[in-house]
Amino acid sequence: MKTGIMSAMLEEMESLLEVMDITSTQEKGNRTYYSGMLWGHEVVLVFSRWGKVASATTATHLIIEHKVDRILFSGVAGALDPRLNVGDIVIGTKLYQHDMDARPIFPQFEIPLVHTSYFETDEDLRNQLKSAAISFLESNTIDEATKETFKIHHPKIMEGAIASGDRFISDAKDAEHIKQLLPDLLCVEMEGAAVAQVCSDYNIPFALIRTISDAADDNATIDFQAFVKEVATVYTHGILISFLNA
């Protein structure tokens, strides 16, 4: 079983590469694909870069050239649901593209010619990710000072709909507009739905986990890089250890 692991954050990849037993690397299409063993499991790790095109081409390459059996995407997201706080974890179920709009030929959000406005993640992988996320939060790995800095108090896990689009949402009105159009959304990010579409086309199981880094509002960029480095990276590392060892 070969797992493709993608992240849109270089820092997350670097933290995994430090503990990976790398057997080969491939430079292709402006990406570096690292093949080898991570905690005893065969993986290919890659930094996808940001956005739907970058992540879709990376996923396609993982499937065609590296012949991965399943793909996991980990990263950060901006919360739309008011129940979510920074440091919470979201496991994606339905993945929409909030900037897909081929009206009047197709309804808003519908992916042309596939008769759907979202792709679903794989239920088994999703459940495994959820168990891994529960174990990680129970392990209380983030130190108190870091929790205080980012105001992480009682981090929780939610499962639900996520939307991707080629826009970093840093305006509360923008966030509200997306939420009004797609009320079941928990959060927004920039890659998941694109990878989900590729995985659906190739019939490859896919799951997605996101740590909430911001509220997709006017403060979204404050502390963003620091959050990724000090918190999201630790989450990804801790969750993947549990996931791969389950």
Q: What are phi and psi of 8, to 5 degrees?
A: -90, 5
Q: Which is nearer to ligand ADE, 19 or 222 (CB)?
A: 222
Q: How many residues in the shown chain lie near ligand ADE by CB under 6 A? A: 13
Is 171 a known active-site residue? no
Residues 132-171 that bind ligand ADE (CB under 6 A): 168-170
Q: 């959000």: which residue's tokens? A: 109
CB of 220 to ligand ADE, least distance (A): 4
- What does the chain come to in residues? 246
Q: Which of 3, 97, 213, 242 binds ligand ADE (CB under 6 A)?
A: 213
- The one catalytic residue in 148, 191, 214, 217 is 214
CB of 178 to ligand ADE, least distance (A): 10
Stretch near ligand ADE under the rule CB under 6 A, chosen from 64-72, 130-138, 141-149, 183-191: 183-191
Residue 88 as a binder of ligand ADE (CB under 6 A): the answer is: no
Q: Which amino acid is at 223?
A: D
CB of 188 to ligand ADE, least distance (A): 5
Q: Which is nearer to ligand ADE, 3 or 7 (CB)?
A: 7
Q: Over 21-79, what HEC string results?
A: EEEEEEEECCEEEEEEEECCEEEEEEECCCCHHHHHHHHHHHHHCCCCCEEEEEEEEEE
Residue 188 as a binder of ligand ADE (CB under 6 A): the answer is: yes
Is 143 a known active-site residue? no
- The one catalytic residue in 11, 12, 143, 230 is 12
Residue nearest to ligand ADE (CB): 78
Runs of H (alpha helix) within 140-181: 144-149, 172-181
Residue 195 neighbours by CB distance under 10 Å = 30
- CA-wise closest residue to 165 among 148, 182, 141, 153: 182
Cα→Cα distances 172→162, 179, 216, Å: 17, 10, 7
CB of 170 to ligand ADE, least distance (A): 6
Residue 97 as a binder of ligand ADE (CB under 6 A): the answer is: no
CA dist 88 and 162 (Å) reads 14
Catalytically annotated residues:
12, 214
Interface residues with ligand ADE (CB under 6 A) are: 76-78, 168-170, 188-190, 213-214, 216, 220
